[in-house]
Amino acid sequence: MNIYINIAKRFLSSGNNTGKFTSIISIVGICIGSFALVISISVLNGFENKLDEKISNFDGHLKISGLNQDYDLTKFRTIKLITDMSFSLDRKGIIKSNTSEALITFKQLDFDKLKSFYNIPFVGDISDDNKIFIGNDIASRLGLSIGDEVVISSPLDQNSIFGFPSTVKTYISAIFFSKILDYDNKYILISNRLGNKVFYNNSNLPSLDVKISDVSKIEVVKAKVANTIDKGNKIHSWKERNTVLVSAIEMEKLGSIIVLSLIIVVSSFSVISTISLITMKKIKDIGVLRLLGMELFNVKKIIIIQTIIIGLKGLLLGLFFGVSFVLLQNNYELISLPSEIYAMEVLPMDIAFEDILLVLIINILFIITAGFISAKKFLRTDPLETLKWVK
């Protein structure tokens, strides 16, 4: 095999200026395609991971429904990857100010967990659990600010025989800025003490929000938890609760890979032209090799090796520049984002070994295909037959 590699290298290095120029163009094209793939995948991964982080800070990585607050959590604590747990209850309700009102979702939880479990950015004071914790968009929509008096009520809960809904007068103690989907325009956080004053109908059991230490093992943890709970209880990850969003991210990632792979396809055609030009210039040498007994299969092997050499140069350069840029962005935050639009201040990037392997497979597939096309195109006529026409 080494002899064929050496011959392929000699053919590539001894080409004329035109062959070398087209070879460089092919390498640059594959390099750009590989670089673009790495950057695109890493950015989409970064946004997905940031979304995972923010949603888990609001709802946990896993949500177990149908558990009573008196449920024994000891069995969950024996699962190594689980780091923290907290009960919460989501209920529809109404918030009223002096001038307006809105239908919102109350998230009833333990206020002692607001900093340790529910790591949500906010302004204000959350030490008083008789006051509420309101989303920024709701506050803007209703013209509310910290310290304003509001009335919260639950139409599903009646506290008298006349059917009047339960209402409680309270104050806004803090405003949060989660920047997660429509959460800031949807949720109001209330304490268990305040929730017990508003909610009389206990038909809805609270959910147990669960955080884990390694997000990549979320399915493993989910399976272990599922084995410890009753069949009537349900467990969902944040991705399963937001299937539309996750599907959109996956489709965007797939679309980016397909579109950016077209750069590599175009570069592969350039490789085919380069190899055809070089082999035509070396037709005499190939004919001599055939005269010395080299089979057509081995000539085909030399042509494919030439293609692989050109392709690998571009591929390795693209991976090097792509991974290096991801590392630089993560360490030095070269690209910033407008915080008023995005839920983060810098462009998130994350690249995994599986992503690099995917880029390798895509490139190698196109490169080898280009090699076979080049060899088939050139070997339609046996070089030994064409030798007698070469002066």
The pLDDT confidence band at residue 162, using thresholds 50, 70 and 90, is low
Give the domain range for residue 344: 2-53+245-389
Query: Rounded distance, CA 68 to CA 14, Å?
Result: 78
Q: pLDDT, tens digit, for every residue of 351-387?
A: 999 999 999 999 999 999 999 998 887 777 666 666 6
Q: Is residue 239 part of a domain?
A: no
Beta-sheet pairing, 149-158 with 82-96: antiparallel
Average pLDDT on 105-117 reads 90
Whether the CB-CB separation of 303 and 371 falls below 8 Å is answered with yes
pLDDT of residue 244: 87
Query: Rounded distance, CA 3 to CA 343, Å?
Result: 57
Average pLDDT on 298-306 reads 90
pLDDT of residue 384: 64
Q: At residue 28, does pLDDT exceed 70?
A: yes
Q: Do 167 and 113 share a structural domain?
A: yes
Q: pLDDT, tens digit, for every residue of 163-174?
A: 567 789 999 999
Q: Do 88 and 165 share a structural domain?
A: yes
Q: At residue 202, does pLDDT exceed 70?
A: no
Q: Which of 14-28, 153-167, 191-205, 334-348 has the lowest mean pLDDT?
A: 153-167
Average pLDDT on 68-87 reads 89
Q: At residue 181, does pLDDT exceed 80?
A: yes
Domain boundary among 210, 232, 254: 232
Highest average pLDDT, of 48-52, 227-231, 361-365, comes from 361-365
Q: At residue 201, does pLDDT exceed 90?
A: no
Whether the CB-CB separation of 198 and 190 falls below 8 Å is answered with yes
Q: Do 46 and 18 share a structural domain?
A: yes
pLDDT of residue 254: 92
pTM, full prediction: 0.85
Q: Do 106 and 226 share a structural domain?
A: yes
Q: Do 377 and 265 share a structural domain?
A: yes
Name which residue leads in pLDDT, 280 or 347: 347
pLDDT of residue 43: 94
Q: Is residue 182 part of a domain?
A: yes
Domain boundary among 169, 197, 232: 232
The phi, psi pair for 234, rounded to 5°, reads -120, 145
Average pLDDT on 64-85 reads 88
Tally of domains in the chain: 2
Query: Rounded distance, CA 32 to CA 357, Å?
Result: 17
Query: Rounded distance, CA 265 to CA 238, Å?
Result: 37
Q: At residue 389, does pLDDT exceed 70?
A: no
Q: pLDDT, tens digit, for every residue of 113-154?
A: 988 899 888 999 888 889 999 999 999 999 999 999 999 998
pLDDT of residue 295: 87
Query: Rounded distance, CA 316 to CA 148, Å?
Result: 60
Q: Do 171 and 73 share a structural domain?
A: yes
pLDDT of residue 126: 84
pLDDT of residue 282: 81
Q: Is residue 222 part of a domain?
A: yes
The pLDDT confidence band at residue 225, using thresholds 50, 70 and 90, is very high
Domain boundary among 207, 232, 257: 232
Q: What is the mean pLDDT of the chain?
A: 87
DSSP state of 187: E
Q: Do 134 and 23 share a structural domain?
A: no
Name which residue leads in pLDDT, 202 or 380: 380
Q: At residue 1, does pLDDT exceed 80?
A: no
Q: pLDDT, tens digit, for every residue of 310-342?
A: 999 999 999 999 999 999 999 999 999 887 777
Q: Is residue 208 part of a domain?
A: yes
Q: Do 140 and 108 share a structural domain?
A: yes
Q: Is 270 exposed, middle or buried (0-12, 13-18, 19+ CB in 10 A)?
A: buried
Q: Is residue 61 part of a domain?
A: no
Beta-sheet pairing, 207-212 with 165-176: unpaired
Residue whose tokens read 């190899």: 275
pLDDT of residue 184: 94
Tokens of residue 9, six digits: 């290298």
In order, the DSSP letters of 211-270 are EES-GGGHHHHHHHHHTTS-TT-EEEEHHHHTHHHHHHHHHHHHHHHHHHHHHHHHHHHH
Q: Do 208 and 130 share a structural domain?
A: yes
pLDDT of residue 158: 62
